[in-house]
């Protein structure tokens, strides 16, 4: 359980961040949710208090891509709760502006910068802001949310993929730097998850098998709670794709699918 621990979650008003905030609060943590949208932050804060009566939650309308905002995030958390035990950096966008599908040739430098500023710079700034507190405590955990798009590039997702590749590299470097100081840094790579980010995919259809955000939240809570002498390396979570038949089915005429999956 996480009683007495204070967790900051960026991107905490929607999707993975919101589900993770609820999961950590149910485990006893005090939670600080951070998002650019003041209205969504207020709604999320109220919703979390209804879900876990008596639990402590603080909502902050701040921009992860703004260094002053991230320093304010740390200051307000310390003033209210006196410590920071966990940072989950989940803030991110898929595309800039109106979310149009753009190739590298079509994308402006401003559109490129908008994605990188939130996904990569925002991860760096949130990490950078909490580190002095964790270093002084001699303890702390950071989990940066990347993506399986940080392993493979996809058409129309160049900026997103570049940012998520970079988050993995930054997280691995930081993990080596702060491990001797008692701070654990891990990175999570979700695959196809049912989040509002899919609205930016326009005509690209949502796959038949997608995971709900609650699955990712439970994995993040597990990563927070593993023993202090262990670390999860590049955790990937993807749909099982139960609707897809295995490639080997049909290759053997001696055994039918019914026989293979029969309990008898």
CB of 52 closer than 8 Å to CB of 35: no
Per DSSP, helices labelled H in 52-157 are 67-81, 109-116, 122-137
- Phi and psi angles of residue 172, each rounded to the nearest 5 degrees, phi first: -65, -40
CB atoms under 10 Å from CB of 178, counted, come to 18
Q: Among the options 124, 160, 222, 261, which is catalytic?
A: 160
- Rounded CA-CA distance 46/178 in Å is 35
Structure tokens at 63: 């921009």
Q: Respond yes or no: is residue 160 known to be catalytic.
A: yes
Structure tokens at 256: 């039918």
Residues 6 or more apart whose Cβ sits within 8 Å of residue 256: none
Beta bridge partners of 145: 188
E strand map for the chain: 6-10, 30-35, 57-61, 86-89, 140-145, 183-190, 193-194, 211-212, 235-237
Catalytic residues: 160
């Amino acid at each position: 359980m996480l009683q007495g621990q204070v967790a900051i979650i960026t991107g905490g008003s929607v999707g993975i961040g919101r589900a993770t905030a609820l999961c950590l609060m149910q485990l006893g943590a005090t939670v600080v949710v951070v998002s650019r949208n003041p209205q969504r932050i207020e709604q999320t804060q109220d919703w979390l208090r209804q879900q876990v009566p008596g639990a402590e939650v603080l909502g902050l309308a701040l921009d992860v891509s703004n260094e002053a905002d991230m320093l304010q995030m740390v200051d307000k958390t310390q003033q209210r709760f006196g410590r920071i035990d966990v940072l989950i950096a989940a803030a991110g966008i898929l595309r800039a502006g109106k979310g149009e599908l753009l190739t590298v040739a079509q994308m402006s430098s401003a559109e490129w910068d908008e994605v990188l500023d939130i996904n990569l710079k925002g991860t760096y700034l949130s990490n950078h802001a909490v580190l002095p507190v964790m270093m002084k405590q001699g303890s702390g955990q950071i989990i940066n949310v990347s993506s399986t798009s940080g392993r493979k590039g996809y058409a129309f997702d160049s900026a997103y993929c570049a940012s998520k590749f970079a988050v993995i590299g930054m997280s691995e470097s930081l993990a080596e730097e702060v491990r001797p100081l008692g701070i654990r840094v891990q990175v999570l790579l979700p695959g196809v998850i049912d989040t509002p980010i899919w609205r930016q995919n326009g005509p690209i259809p949502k796959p038949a098998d997608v995971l709900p955000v609650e699955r990712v939240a439970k994995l993040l809570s597990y990563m927070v709670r593993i023993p202090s002498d262990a670390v999860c390396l590049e955790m990937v979570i993807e749909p099982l794709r139960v609707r897809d038949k295995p490639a080997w089915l049909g290759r053997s005429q001696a055994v039918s699918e019914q026989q293979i999956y029969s309990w008898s």
